[in-house]
Amino acid sequence: MSAATVSPSSEVLQAMDLTCINTIRTLAMDGVQAANSGHPGTPMAMAPVAYCLWQQFLRFDPEDPVWPNRDRFVLSAGHASMLLYSLLHLTGVKAVSKDYETLGDPSVPLDALKTFRQLDSRCPGHPEYRWTSGVETTAGPLGQGVATSVGMAIGRQWLAARYNRPGFENLFDFNVYALCGDGCMMEGISSEAASLAGHLRLSNLCWIYDNNHITIEGNTALAFTEDVATRFIGYGWNVTRVGDANDLDMLARAFRTFQSTKDRPTLIIVDSHIGYGAPHKQDTSGAHGEPLGEEEVRLAKRNYGWPEDEKFYVPDGVYDHFRQGIGKRGRELRDAWFARIEEYRKQYPEFADELLRMQHRLLPVGWDRDLPEFPADPKGLATRESSAKVLNAATENIPWLIGGAADLAPSTKTRLTWEGAGDFSAENYGGRNFHFGIREHAMGAIVNGMSLVKLRPFGSGFFIFVDYMRGSLRLGALMELPVIYVFTHDSIGVGEDGPTHQPIEQLAHMRAMPGLIMIRPADANEVTEAWKVILQLHHEPAVLVLTRQAVPTIDRTKYAPASSLARGGYILADAPGGAPEVILIGTGSEVSLCLDAYEQLIREGIRARVVSMPSWELFDDQDKAYRESVLPPCVKARVSVEQASDFGWSKYTGSDGHNICIESFGASAPLKQLLKKFGFNVENVVASAKSQIARHQSGG
């Protein structure tokens, strides 16, 4: 046969490319229209980009969407969720359970597209990790997805540095792609993350920037005129441009450029038309955040050469085309990787065991064998200091426990000092000490990304700066990621730094967040027990809140053992000879103050009980019988002691209890003066206890 006979099949292939692209577009349009809510414009514009990436380049097996060396695709422009849902449907991605078992059912059946944004649909307004298989991260707020993708890319580099061994140099070599828009570029978190990615020369990271010049309020010229390309070149990125989002050849060339770039991350700037094909709404804000309307949908379909009145229409051949493209390629890559793992297991059984445990959130055998116990000491040490000792012991036994600080490791005491820990850098991707720089918000998203590739990351900073990373922390809780946050300088114990650095409301903020476990330990041994609890979590992020100042190490031969911390709250010291007349409840550094007040009350013949309450979440998880054994309903006289807002304490002290707290923003002064000013002394606690007893005995 002559070479000319190849041409028709090539034309047919090109026609099928366009058919698939328009199927993505029309499914997105129909889903938004059916919901009467959503963002159709970006899926219509970026369908060719997503199609080119998925069909030609993405190493992803729809039949097994969680195989460890798959490429990651992050939709940072999460409002364009119908773009991703359409891809998940057309490529036949299978649903996976929380135990990482492929269920065989489609992750996004056609009916799910029809119930976009409806109750319990697998297609919520913004893609949600764990809820819809094939969604690699929850990226609702703009900028979060691209920042999280940096953590994923970091995770791959660390995995490769540790586990890629002679004969298995490509065991971990996946790439991370993130699709973002003008909103992501404007959010500060993307600048933080891009700066760090460039510094670390993450060549496995590719951001695809949808440059359509439209946001909700109108043209980006209203507020955004910077030269993005020059900005990213300044960050140390490779920057390439595609002048037309519909040019599949140029898109493919750009992706090949990324794959051949080995010394830096890549930004692909794609010029597009939001709402492409909609005759009245293309290039307008009207295509951004609202349905096109039935008539505009019909006209757009007419422009595509599509049946105008067909809804959720998938032409013949589309499913099979994706199966022969990404489906076939992904399955071959996945099967080859698992075959390599079997060989790897024979040559490197210890590393293979680590990988298996990591993937299933399991800990190594004997991980807790070296965790320290601390002798009683009235002078004690800061809980940040005892945490440093525990963390160093744990990281030596848990190889994939990795993290650092937002430029505050000398203060948060999170530096790993054992021989061989090393610093993670562009020259040493196997280092265990991570330097986020002064980028708290990006740190929060990056540790989420590291966790999503199954590392066990921690990030640390001063507790006051949790405000800078609340959005990322919230998404970690929503995704049920066992990320660890170590926050120090937890109270007015910061002293002379003053109210700008004294976290008064942060404890209440953390306690209000669903799915998050916060622990504020009272002494060094509670710190050890806190780490034991945290490291065994599978689905909950944990916040460990620690002191700057020294606190006494409680004598556990006299008072209850610290192991009871696992129950969130426990009786530390009880009334001798009968039921307590008053209960003192403290957290963190205030527990030792409660013990001092307790001893004075006992000397005066008053039956008091001290409850250490390091974690409300853990305590509330206990059964009612246990909770009432610690806080008997019949004992109404109660005093809480915490150097923070009293918001929420009435749950434990009752409406008639007393809360020794802080109701202002603190002050700048030496600690002893602050403790006196705000009433954190034995005299005030004792007086408050007596007042409570008198009040409840009189029926007041």
The residues that are catalytic are 440
Q: How far apart are CA 698 and CA 676, in angstroms?
A: 30
* β-bridge partners, 214: 219
Q: What Cα–Cα distance (Å) separates residue 394 from each residue in 160, 335, 419? A: 22, 35, 14
* β-bridge partners, 206: 177, 266
User: Residue 498's closest CA among 489, 508, 507, 506?
Assistant: 489
Are 556 and 524 spatial neighbours (Cβ–Cβ below 8 Å)? Answer: no
Following CA atoms 239, 244, 247, 248 in sequence, which dihedral angle do they give, to the nearest 10 degrees? 40
User: Residue 57's closest CA among 200, 241, 248, 247?
Assistant: 248
Are 573 and 605 spatial neighbours (Cβ–Cβ below 8 Å)? Answer: no
532-537-542 Cα angle (round to 5): 85
Task: Compute the Cα dihedral for 54, 186, 126, 461 and give only its sign.
Answer: positive
Residue 38, phi-psi category: left (phi > 0), alpha (psi -120 to 50), beta (remainder): left
Maximal C-alpha separation, the chain: 107
42-68 residues labelled b (16+ CB within 10 A) or e (exposed): bbbbbbbbbbbbbbbbbbbbbbbbbbb
Other beta carbons within 10 angstroms of residue 329's beta carbon come to 17
Q: How far apart are CA 412 and CA 434, in angstroms?
A: 13
Are 622 and 482 spatial neighbours (Cβ–Cβ below 8 Å)? Answer: no
Which are the contacts of 643, defined by CB distance < 8 A and separation ≥ 6?
A: 490, 491, 492, 493, 588, 589, 590, 661, 662, 678, 680
Which are the contacts of 432, defined by CB distance < 8 A and separation ≥ 6?
A: 395, 401, 402, 416, 421, 422, 424
**Ordered DSSP codes for 623-646:** -HHHHHHHS-TT---EEEE-SS--
Are 646 and 659 spatial neighbours (Cβ–Cβ below 8 Å)? Answer: yes
- Only one residue has tokens 């140029």, namely 250
Following CA atoms 267, 269, 275, 277 in sequence, which dihedral angle do they give, to the nearest 10 degrees? -130
Q: How far apart are CA 488 and CA 408, in angstroms?
A: 10
Q: How far apart are CA 286 and CA 662, in angstroms?
A: 49
Q: How far apart are CA 639 and CA 19, in angstroms?
A: 69
Are 239 and 229 spatial neighbours (Cβ–Cβ below 8 Å)? Answer: yes
Q: How far apart are CA 636 and CA 699, in angstroms?
A: 10
User: Residue 468's closest CA among 503, 444, 494, 492?
Assistant: 444
Structure tokens at 515: 């799915």
Residue count of the chain = 700
